Amino acid sequence: MNKSVVKKTASKKAAVSAARLAAIKCLRQVFKGSSLSAVQAQNIDILEDRRDRGLANEMVNGVLRWRWQLEALVSALLSKPLKAKDIDVQLVLLMALYELTECRTPDYAIINQAVELVRKSGKKWAASLVNAVLRRFTRERERLISGLTSETALYSHPDWIIDLIKRDWPDDWRNILQANNQRPPFWLRVNRQQYNVAQYQQLLGDMQRESEVSPLADQAVKLSQGIDVRTLPGFAGGAVSVQDVGAQLCAALLNLSAKQKVLDLCVAPGGKTCHILEHCEHLQSLVAVELDEKRMLRVTENLQRLQLLAGAASATGDDAEADTRLALIVADVRDYQQWWQGELFDRILIDAPCSASGVIRRHPDIKTLRRSSDIPALVELQAEILLSAWQMLAPGGELLYVTCSIFKDENQHQIKRFLATSSDAREIEITASWGKPCEAGRQLLPGEFDADGFYFCRLRKLEAV
């Protein structure tokens, strides 16, 4: 683990408790199966003080990232495990151990806060236990940490994920697991319709923000530190979006040009849809399909902020060369016969629902929420989406299949199976300076070029003979 600075003063004690209470609520809900982003919005985003929000987010992400290591420490410190009904006590211990190993808050303050927190959660009986366990940890810290030898504890992942990554990436599994435990970088995509990257870096420099560009994507900028996006130059007017540099590869891989008809499948929250429209202004049409109505609202918001909706909404079709006709459809891709108008598309993007095993560093709750039993159902769903999409692709057209997964079953095995059963499909090889060539497609592994892990495969539909 890396030491990080979490500043706190004695006079902020009460406020810190609010942050900790919010963090414990979040952790309890994620451990019960809720997604972190949903519980963050309900419990952390509502805190008034920016420092409280920062501390609560630090605690929650840290515990979810290092859960398996912290649990091994708790096991070593307790003579018998806590009962399932005492999850609050376990969570307080995990959180305090995270702080004791990662943060610069004085030990006595961390322990006092943990004892106060366990009392507040209605488990007064556990106050002395928490106190004793944490004090023992501070006395025996080095021995306890050097006693962690299992891969589960050392790499802090559930066993099934370690096993799958080892099986799929025998030469890279250690690097992948380590990359998954890093704090994610802060990547932006500069809207090329408003600024080039050098101009935007200048604006960032004017506000004393350091940034770097990427050899992967020409509109990508990495900030050296996180920031409230609303304070970014031109954010409200659509100058820039938050998007990992790996995700920014899609628009170029789609091989877009003017007047094409594009079908964008599984689109929410709209990162790639917006990028496509920024990237190629004169498409004939873009049809964007998403199953989840609420998530589709996020697509609309993003399109509005980026000023991509107004032009499209005013398009009547009379001036199709200048305006992309944009349709947003809430539907299941697999029910395409219900919503498809019968037009064949020149380009199709499938950003398939997947295990998200490539974006664990950004969403550490994935390690807690996903089960190995989820994978076969996802593979089946992806295969059905791919088969449906293929029916809507014009002969000579191209389909880009993308996942943010590193599991081969969702990626190259999926595509190999599709190619074996689709006589009109051919792979278009992706030659690139990034990623690993696969049996089919190309895999960007987490951490490579400081990107998240993504899989890409380009397919062409053969012209009828």
- Residue 217 touching ligand SAM (CB under 6 A): no
Binding ligand SAM (rule: CB under 6 A), the pick from 292, 301, 374, 380 is 292
Q: Is 102 in the site for ligand SAM (CB under 6 A)?
A: no
The rounded distance, in Å, linking the Cα atoms of 117 and 25 is 11
> Rounded to the nearest whole angstrom, what is the least distance from the CB of residue 331 to ligand SAM in the complex?
7
In terms of CB distance, is 148 or 331 closer to ligand SAM?
331
- Give the one residue of 62, 238, 271, 446 binding ligand SAM; rule: CB under 6 A: 271
Considering only 267, 276, 326, 375, the residue that binds ligand SAM (CB under 6 A) is: 267
Comparison of 119 and 295: residue with beta carbon closer to ligand SAM: 295
Quote the strand ranges of 159-242, DSSP E: 186-190, 211-213, 220-223, 240-242
Q: Distance from CA of residue 88 to its chain's centroid?
A: 27
Cβ burial of 175 (10 Å; 0-12, 13-18, 19+) is middle
Q: How many residues bind ligand SAM (CB under 6 A)?
A: 18
Burial code of 369-401, b = ≥16 C-beta within 10 A, e = fewer?
bbeeeebeebbebbbebbebbbebbbeebbbbb
Residue 72 is encoded by which pair of tokens?
């091994």
Q: Choose the binding region for ligand SAM from 25-33, 106-114, 152-160, 262-270 (rule: CB under 6 A).
A: 262-270
Structure token pair of residue 190: 């500069």
CB 192 within 8 A of CB 102: no
Bridge partner list, 189:
220, 241
Instruction: Please give the single-letter amino acid code of residue 359.
Output: V
Stretch that binds ligand SAM, among 157-165, 204-212, 263-271, 414-422 (CB under 6 A): 263-271
DSSP 8-state assignment for residue 450: G
Beta bridge partner(s), residue 425:
461
Alpha carbons 197 and 142: distance in angstroms, whole number: 46
By the rule CB under 6 A, 297 interacts with ligand SAM: no
Least gap, CB of 162 to ligand SAM (angstroms): 23
- By C-beta, is 175 or 307 nearer to ligand SAM? 307
Which stretch in 54-62, 103-111, 169-177, 290-298 sits in contact with ligand SAM by CB under 6 A?
Answer: 290-298
The answer to whether the beta carbons of residues 229 and 235 sit under 8 Å apart is yes
Residue 301 in contact with ligand SAM, rule: CB under 6 A: no
Q: Is 332 in the site for ligand SAM (CB under 6 A)?
A: yes
List binders of ligand SAM among 384-403 (CB under 6 A): 385
* 266 near ligand SAM (CB under 6 A): yes
Give me 145's structure tokens.
């940490």
Token pair 């219900």 in the structure block, residue: 338
Per CB under 6 A, the list member of 65, 123, 272, 362 interacting with ligand SAM is: 272
Pairing mode, strands 436-437 and 345-351: unpaired
Each residue 13-52 as x (binds ligand SAM by CB under 6 A) or -, in order, gives ----------------------------------------
Is residue 244 involved in binding ligand SAM (CB under 6 A)? no
Q: How far is the CB of 298 from ligand SAM (least distance, A)?
A: 8
* Cis preceding-peptide flag for 269 (omega within 30 of 0): yes
Stretch that binds ligand SAM, among 154-162, 186-194, 284-292, 444-452 (CB under 6 A): 284-292
Helix (H) or strand (E) segment spanning residue 217: none
Among 333, 350, 399, 400, contact with ligand SAM (rule: CB under 6 A): 333
Question: Annotated active-site positions, please?
Answer: 404
Q: Does 190 bind ligand SAM (CB under 6 A)?
A: no
Measured from the Cβ of residue 118, the count of other Cβ atoms closer than 10 Å reads 26
Whole-number Å distance between alpha carbons of 231 and 52 = 19
Q: Stretches 219-227, 285-293, 306-314, 426-434: which one binds ligand SAM (CB under 6 A)?
A: 285-293
CA contacts within 13 A on the Cβ side of 112 = 10
Would you count residue 441 as binding ligand SAM (CB under 6 A)?
no
Q: Which residues of the shown chain bind ligand SAM in the complex (CB under 6 A)? A: 266-272, 289-292, 295, 332-334, 351, 353, 385
